Structure 1
Amino acid sequence: MSVLGSGLMGSLSGSAVANAVTTGSFTIPMMRRAGFENAVAGGITAAAASGGALVPPVMGAGAYMMLELLPQELNIKFLDIAKAALIPAVLYYLSIFKIVDYYSRRIGSTGGTDTSGEEAKKKPIKPFEAFVFFGALTVLIGLLVWKFTPFRAVTASLVVILVLSALRPELKIGKAARIAALGTFFSATVVHHFAFPEELAEPNARQIFTSWLNSSLFGMFALLIFGLIHREWRPQIFKAMTVSSKNGVSLVAASACVGIIIGIVDTTGIATLFSQEIKAVVADSLLIALIGIMAVSLVLGMGVPSVVCYLLMATMVGSLLEQLGVPPLAAHLFIFYFGMMSMVTPPVALAAYASASIAEAPIMRTAMAAFRFSLVGFTLPFMFIYRPELLMLNSAGQPAAIPVILIQAATAIFGIHALAASMAGFLRRPLGLGLRVALFVFAALMLFPDPGMQVGSIPVYPTDLVGLISFVGLWVFLGKSQLTTPETPAVAA
């Protein structure tokens, strides 16, 4: 629940710390009651919270920033970014889920929770709020797939949220006030639509929907005025404005800096000079360049918000990766990933700081646990640089063949299973240090960049095959093992 909830929440908020605080307030107590150590529960929450901004289709503010920084001549759309980020996001959360799964089996946790506790009573499940969340998310995804602009997709989602929120049972507002609010919104929308009709050359479903959506902006403005005037709605409107203003400060500041940074870089030419200096150091070694950019992103991300870190790094070194043959979208996602991973990188792991306070655990132990649980997040960027098929792209940045995408994704899934078992110390039974090291090696073979070879029209990846066969063989061996005394487990991860 913690892993899934953090992914969904973080995709919308884009803030690892806010995500950890929001979801951790109820998932950490649940994990503690299920038998997880305090630091481990906090680490799981921090790791899951840090990946939220990597989850399409929203991706916090990151995807919108990429649209501004990616070369315009490539004509990359928002949906292209979301599609490219899909497989890595699934792999990241699959890795956390499997580590948690194996770890819980190792410590003998059933994952059950005692809902009779005081903490559970304080935070009851609210199905209607889940309905609002998934309803708005469904509309957002649907319109993006329908190739609407992000602005129009978000506008439609806001309409859904406003309409459904007015029906929330928790609101202490009378029925008449609710009906009046909804009536104001729909009346204003209809009046605007017919009073200021748009000229549609060839009316179709898309154009008609867009016309009504444009009118809904006037309806939302009218609803805001109504809320400020109406006695029962006024406190709710003020509260919503206050909360949204506080939550949006960092995003507004980052957005305001985009134009300033780009203007300075374009005027001074510092990005070109900076890239040339780095290229002179790394020569033509892509791996050294990637490691250097990773290190700088992690350090920079410890002191500034992840989005700001991405803006600075993408502006300064994004072109360098492109010069080394990396597709532009892959280069920007690489930088963005490590900006987010700085949230769980000790010693300054801000997401772990937030979750440690809720878990009542030592900060550094929580940070180290978060680092271990999010280890795949540090390998994924290298994987999709050397295996762009994980972004559904080929080496030239064009759509990759589906069979190759499936092969690479399947290999990555097996590699993640091996890595998760190694980190948790469990695969069908508790594992000792020797088998954990062996599993780590098998995972490295499957996750290590392999250029592969062609056998006819079929791509073959030797190191992947070695790692896969070894992992499956060990899995079968452990299942058939007749040892009555399992290996002594190593110290809990």
Structure 2
Amino acid sequence: MEAVASTGGQIMPPVMGAAAFVMAEFLGLPYITIAKHAAIPALLYYLALYFAIHFEAQRTGLRGLPREELPSLRTVVVDKGHLFVPVFIIVYLMLVGYTAPMAALWGTLAAALSTWVGRLGWLYLLVLLVEFILPGNIMVVLGLGWLVLAAIRLATPQGRAGLKPLLTKLFPDALEDGARNTLAVAAACACAGIVIGVIALTGAGLQFTSLVLAAAKESLIPALTLTMIAGIILGMGMPTTPAYIVQAALLIPALIKLGVLPIAAHMFVFYFAIISAITPPVAMAVYAAAGIGKTNLWATGLAAMRLGATGFIVPFMFVYGTSLLFVGSWLEVITTIISSCLGVVCLSAALHGWLTKPTVWWERVLLGIAAFLLIKPGLLTDVLGLVLLGMVVASQKFLDIVRPPIEAKGMAEARGSAVELDAARVERAKQEG
């Protein structure tokens, strides 16, 4: 679950993965426009993940922590909510037209200062509100706002005591870690640049485009399938950004020649470069999750693919239904959102064997068919999908049939390994005690 949720962070606005900023440069569009186009597909991804987790929990009897063990939401927001201030600053600066590097610079400074000023960081939202109501020189306003908060913080003993560790330890260490983490991505991007240079000089890009068009025989589905496979394979061996850059040179021109909108073609490639992180055999996010949880790699990988199944379908959805990218009339956008949301819920129910109660095999089949009908744009397919969904809902409500729970093998193995690990830890603690 964590691997799938974390992987989707790169496609979720307002702060998407680094490749989204590269996409903005390729398309000549502001980053905020890219974020707008990505909003609905990202919401569908997380909506499907939410229901997949919900259905799996219902089917296996999993329950959350008792309410008395949960921290108070009010306490968490008051104590730690100021840490969201840097995100608000980044989003606001990009909304008003500043470049991504400038927004990132101010966000970095805000993150460092927010950890020092603590709850006073909430007051900075007033600064943003004033700037929004009475627009002026935003850089001056942001700077003065932090100076005022810093002066207030310095007036307290705790503030003066916390300043030295921030300047001598925390901030330098953060810069060093950032530089170290950048090296791998920078090296990969440099290699991708060399590849693109060779492609441009030799004309291999045009030849590859012709090859894809010939293999697809002027049909979009084979071309999209080839692009998906290439994106997953490249994403297995490279970080998202260089994988996207290489595909932008090789594969996107072929999709555009087949009539795909440029933004849809770029988003399609972008998605599969990211989804490769949860696609076995080389699924880096799954490797990390399996290592932390001490679970079987293949069981965890298959469970991740089932939880993130919508991520493999959403790109096809917005290629054929560009209203998911906010392209088209508002009526088209709204109807597509509603039908797509119902479709991904049906898909999650079909994959996990639960809707309002355990599903029998023919209900899962109907839910799967309903999912693809609702996902495909069109009034007729939407009506047929709703009819099938209604049949399953009526079956679950009115038919008195035997409904044995269907245990998902991959989930069971992953869950069993975690239980065994917890038991081993308890036993070791008893021995040490």
TM range (shorter): 0.7 to 0.9
Match of 1:316 in 2: 250
Alignment counterpart, residue 138 of structure 2, candidates 209, 216, 219: 209
> Shift of residue 230 of structure 1?
5.7
Match of 1:275 in 2: 209
CA distance in 2, matches of 1:370, 1:129: 33
> Shift of residue 161 of structure 1?
1.5
Equivalent position SS for 2:266:
helix
Aligned CA distance change for structure 1 residues 52 and 155 (closer, same or farther; 3 Å): same
- The answer as to 2:39 corresponding to 1:86 is yes
Match of 2:340 in 1: 412
Equivalent position SS for 1:427:
coil
CA distance in 2, matches of 1:322, 1:384: 14
Equivalent position SS for 1:148:
coil
Alignment of 1:155-166 (within 5 A): 155-166=105-116
Alignment of 1:315-334 (within 5 A): 315-334=249-268
Alignment of 1:238-387 (within 5 A): 238-257=172-191, 259-387=193-321
Alignment counterpart, residue 49 of structure 2, candidates 92, 96, 99: 96
Equivalent position SS for 1:100:
helix
Match of 2:381 in 1: 463
Alignment counterpart, residue 358 of structure 2, candidates 418, 430, 454: 430
User: 2:192·2:246 contact (CA, 8 Å) conserved in 1?
Assistant: no
Segments of structure 1 that go 5 or more residues without pairing to the other structure are 1-43, 170-177, 179-203, 218-228, 394-399, 453-460
CA distance in 2, matches of 1:323, 1:391: 20
Match of 1:69 in 2: 26
Match of 1:491 in 2: 407
Match of 2:126 in 1: none
RMSD: 3.1
> Shift of residue 233 of structure 1?
3.3
CA distance in 2, matches of 1:273, 1:402: 40
| CA shift digits 1:382-438 (9 cap, x unpaired) | 000000110111xxxxxx111100011100001111111111211111112221122
CA distance in 2, matches of 1:206, 1:138: 17
> Shift of residue 242 of structure 1?
2.6
CA distance in 1, matches of 2:317, 2:237: 26
How many residue pairs get aligned? The number is 382
Aligned CA distance change for structure 1 residues 205 and 369 (closer, same or farther; 3 Å): same
| CA shift digits 1:215-255 (9 cap, x unpaired) | 999xxxxxxxxxxx967732223322232223222333345
- The answer as to 2:92 corresponding to 1:142 is yes
| CA shift digits 1:319-340 (9 cap, x unpaired) | 1111111111110110010111
Equivalent position SS for 2:218:
coil
Match of 1:36 in 2: none
CA distance in 2, matches of 1:300, 1:163: 39
Equivalent position SS for 1:166:
helix
> Shift of residue 136 of structure 1?
1.4
Match of 2:2 in 1: 45
Aligned CA distance change for structure 1 residues 68 and 264 (closer, same or farther; 3 Å): farther
Match of 2:59 in 1: 106
CA distance in 1, matches of 2:136, 2:386: 51
| Aligned partner letter, 1:275 | T
User: 1:152·1:213 contact (CA, 8 Å) conserved in 2?
Assistant: no
CA distance in 1, matches of 2:87, 2:57: 31
| Aligned partner letter, 2:345 | H
User: 1:159·1:216 contact (CA, 8 Å) conserved in 2?
Assistant: no
Aligned CA distance change for structure 1 residues 110 and 159 (closer, same or farther; 3 Å): same
Segments of structure 2 that go 5 or more residues without pairing to the other structure are 121-132, 147-162, 412-433
User: 1:352·1:367 contact (CA, 8 Å) conserved in 2?
Assistant: yes
| CA shift digits 1:335-375 (9 cap, x unpaired) | 01011111111122111111111222111100000010000
| CA shift digits 1:60-117 (9 cap, x unpaired) | 20211112322x4xxx21111000000000000000000111111112222226997x
| Aligned partner letter, 2:116 | A
Match of 1:21 in 2: none
Aligned CA distance change for structure 1 residues 254 and 113 (closer, same or farther; 3 Å): farther
| CA shift digits 1:427-469 (9 cap, x unpaired) | 1111122211221111121123x4x4xxxxxxxx211210112
| Aligned partner letter, 1:54 | I
CA distance in 2, matches of 1:67, 1:254: 20
| Aligned partner letter, 1:401 | S
Q: Percent identity?
A: 30
- The answer as to 2:344 corresponding to 1:441 is no
User: 2:366·2:392 contact (CA, 8 Å) conserved in 1?
Assistant: no
Aligned CA distance change for structure 1 residues 337 and 480 (closer, same or farther; 3 Å): same
Aligned CA distance change for structure 1 residues 472 and 144 (closer, same or farther; 3 Å): farther
User: 1:433·1:490 contact (CA, 8 Å) conserved in 2?
Assistant: no
| Aligned partner letter, 1:140 | I
CA distance in 1, matches of 2:358, 2:258: 44
Q: Which stretch shifts more, 101-110 or 285-294?
A: 101-110
Equivalent position SS for 1:237:
helix
| Aligned partner letter, 1:100 | I
Alignment of 1:125-136 (within 5 A): 130-136=80-86
Q: Which stretch shifts more, 148-157 or 416-425?
A: 148-157
Normalised by the size of structure 1, how large is the TM-score? 0.71
| Aligned partner letter, 2:406 | A
Equivalent position SS for 2:207:
helix
Match of 1:153 in 2: 103
User: 1:55·1:86 contact (CA, 8 Å) conserved in 2?
Assistant: yes
Match of 1:479 in 2: 397
| CA shift digits 1:152-203 (9 cap, x unpaired) | 322332232222122359xxxxxxxx9xxxxxxxxxxxxxxxxxxxxxxxxx
User: 1:430·1:486 contact (CA, 8 Å) conserved in 2?
Assistant: no
| Aligned partner letter, 1:361 | T
